[in-house]
Amino acid sequence: MTRTAARTKRILVLGAAAAVLVVGGLGLAPGGVAVAAGPAEPEEVVIDLGTYQGRPAVPERIALGGGRLGVVARVDPEVGRRLYAYDLAVTGTPEPGPRWTAVADVWDSYPEFGPLVHALGDGRFAYTNPTGANHSVSGEGTATTVITVGQLGTSQRMVAAEGRFFAVDEPSTGKQYVATFDDGLPTVITTRPLSAVAIWGGTMWTPGSNPGWLRWYDLSRRTGAPYDQATGLSCTPDELQTVGRWFYWRCDGAAKSWIWDSGVGFPQIISVPYSKSAKLGDGFLVQQDDRAGALTMTDFHGGAREKPVTTVLADKAAPGAGTWSVDKYGGHVAYTDIDGRIHIKPVTVPRGEFYALDASAPATADDRHWPWRAKVLMNRPPATRTFTVKDWRRGVLVNETSTERTAALVSAQWDARDWDPMERISGPYQWEMVVRPADGTGRESWTPGSVRLLNGASAFRDMNTDGYGEFYSMTTTGKAAVHHPRGGARSWATTGWDPRTRLIPYGANTGDPRSNVLIRTPDGNLYRAGGDSSPIDPKAPHHLMGKGWNGFDAFAASDDFSGDSRPDLLVRQASTGYLFLYRGNARAGFDPAVKVGSGWKGRKIIGADDLTGDGIGDLLARDPGGEVWRYDGTGTGSFKPRTLVFSDWGAGRTDIIAVGDITGDGVGDLLSRDTNGKLLRNRGNGRGSFGATEQIGSGWKYYQALF
């Protein structure tokens, strides 16, 4: 049975430095809030707004969500109608903090405030503007966002709202608009006929095609269910609300209301009193008697196998849907009494599991525009959150815990501007948010996500810094080109090359975090070009790295073989089959060559990449028998004993390249071409091997060579 405390605290909460009226023997605590030593059980709190033009100030609308109370009122000494806010304690007695202004001018030129105010749970409040088709959302530290949907000048009504999503009815056109307040999605997500609608967890619920059925729609992904969900009820709802596993279902034709428990097996229908003024909480329903004004609460948290219990919350509540509010984000009930005071009535109904309702974060971060931010809306206020960022090679890069929250919303930002620029490597990163409930009930919640860093340091074979690998081609007529198997970047091509020229993708070794390309010309000169994604012109001057390189017939560049975080170059001497290592140095050149292997004649050097996730370059080669071997780097310029990757593999393939990540998971892949001109891919698995061969292109016989 639901219990409410008998003691009541009456508090006058103004600004941070305003006076506090204490009633009932209460004392003052720091910050101007009255506190009394009392029982541990939560107590009801009464808030007096103060006066307006010498009379008691009266709330016109209130809304409560995530422990944040919004109040529309005119209050001295401010001029005009404002939307005020209080942050309530989310454990114990819901003491309010100082009052602050969320919006300074709300319908100020109108004698009355018309619409309902919706608490979005993330600290913001949403309502309809007087002009119609305009809808505002405001919160602490944020500018008011105005969203226009439908036809201006029409009579619209916001009928559902949660987090970043809301639904608006436009009766004059028979349309219902479902939209978002946030960037990153189209303002109007879907337009549909008028019907009952509920939003929870980023999902919209509407009546199905048959009476008693429900249909869902994912508002973030813009996808819906291929079928309707049966509830066991037999009517189409005139009103629909949902919180967690609970659905409130009201059918005016039958003058009946039910709760459908979607989280358990049959029986799952709970009969509750019928009222056209009802608001759903987590495991309870609050209703108002339109004639008497009394508020009642029905506790059904035990489900259909337990009889619901209805008790009176307040017998002298002000009439009207905008004068009382249920905090569906794990909170309490707020109502205005007939004298204009606001009551915060604690609700001790056991809550359900603690979980994330919605998570939003940009899919990409840009190294030129930090910070990047992730937001997670919880189903009730959190105590702490731990935010981590990691990549598959380097592990955890960011790990920080904070108690900061806004209502039921937690957020975290990733700002890598203080990192070494060479460590801000373009490509995919994984983030996660672990959140713990403030009320101490339920397990911690874990929300994962991913983000791709752009315009940072080049990944392997990534000249344009989008995190994806690239490869080069040369035709028999001397046309060179760069190709992007993934990433959508524009390829370029330049002509006028000697077809015998070899292009060698190389890492960043000039102090700039962007990769370069080495050019070995037929006369044996080695040049460095690039440093950005611009086309390489054969007629442009390039930096000469050395002469006499025409004695080498195979090349493999790595971001680091030697453990000094500089790119290195492996070459094979054609006459001897010796393998030499040229270490990149701080002067943007190479140290003298060091012999690191012999007997490499007849082997096809595929390339080098960190294939095992230890941050050290590894070498792949195919022997004449068709076996592909991996030589793991030691980090000192040498290699461990070889490991077999494929047996009898690669027959009929003219080019095989360790191309870097071209699938978007950050792991290096293989690219190859067969004699029929098919372009083939083998996905890297991050454990030093690769998946099955997949064809990703055709018509590549035209090219003399791929690099």
Whether 281 and 419 map to the same domain: the answer is no
CA distance 335 to 107: 22
* Residue 168: inside a domain: no
DSSP tag of 131: T
Q: What domain range is 583 assigned to?
A: 471-706
pLDDT value for 531: 67
* Residue 212: inside a domain: no
Whether 682 and 578 map to the same domain: the answer is yes
Chain CA centroid to CA 181, Å: 15
Rounded (5°) CA angle 226-230-235: 120
* Residue 295: inside a domain: yes
* pLDDT, tens only, 2-16: 333 345 555 554 443
Rounded (5°) CA angle 217-223-224: 45
* CATH number of the domain within which 585 lies: 2.120.10.10
Q: Which residues contact 30 (CB under 8 A, 6 or more apart)?
A: none
Whether 385 and 476 map to the same domain: the answer is no
pLDDT value for 42: 86
Residues 232, 235, 240, 241, CA torsion sign = negative
Whether 598 and 483 map to the same domain: the answer is yes
The tokens describing 224, both together, are 């819906």
* pLDDT, tens only, 206-261: 999 999 999 999 998 888 877 788 899 999 999 999 999 999 999 999 999 999 99
Q: Which residues contact 27 (CB under 8 A, 6 or more apart)?
A: 34, 35, 36
Q: Three-class SS of residue 701? A: helix
Other CB atoms within 10 A of residue 678 CB: 18
Whether 609 and 678 map to the same domain: the answer is yes
Whether 670 and 656 map to the same domain: the answer is yes
Whether 377 and 512 map to the same domain: the answer is no
Whether 505 and 598 map to the same domain: the answer is yes
Residues of the chain with pLDDT under 50: 1-6, 13-39
pLDDT value for 27: 31
pLDDT value for 38: 41
* Residue 174: inside a domain: no
Whether 641 and 694 map to the same domain: the answer is yes
pLDDT value for 140: 60
Whether 342 and 361 map to the same domain: the answer is no
Which parts of 309-437 are beta strand (E)?
A: 309-314, 324-326, 333-336, 342-345, 356-360, 364-366, 372-378, 382-391, 395-402, 409-414, 427-437
* CATH number of the domain within which 404 lies: 2.60.40.2470
* Residue 6: inside a domain: no
pLDDT value for 22: 28
Whether 701 and 688 map to the same domain: the answer is yes
Whether 674 and 609 map to the same domain: the answer is yes
pTM (2 d.p.): 0.88
DSSP tag of 699: -
* Residue 366: inside a domain: yes
* pLDDT, tens only, 523-542: 999 999 876 667 888 988 89
Phi first, then psi: give them for residue 114, nearest 5 degrees: -85, -55
Residue ranges of alpha helices (H) inside 30-107 are none
* Residue 2: inside a domain: no
With tokens 């059925």, the residue in question is: 213
How many structural domains compose the chain?
A: 3
> Which of 315, 334, 352 is the endpoint of a domain?
352
* Residue 483: inside a domain: yes
> Which of 327, 352, 377 is the endpoint of a domain?
352
Decide if 567 contacts 560 (C-beta within 8 A): yes
The β-bridge relationship of strands 409-414 and 372-378 is antiparallel
> Which of 325, 352, 379 is the endpoint of a domain?
352
The tokens describing 521, both together, are 């010309």
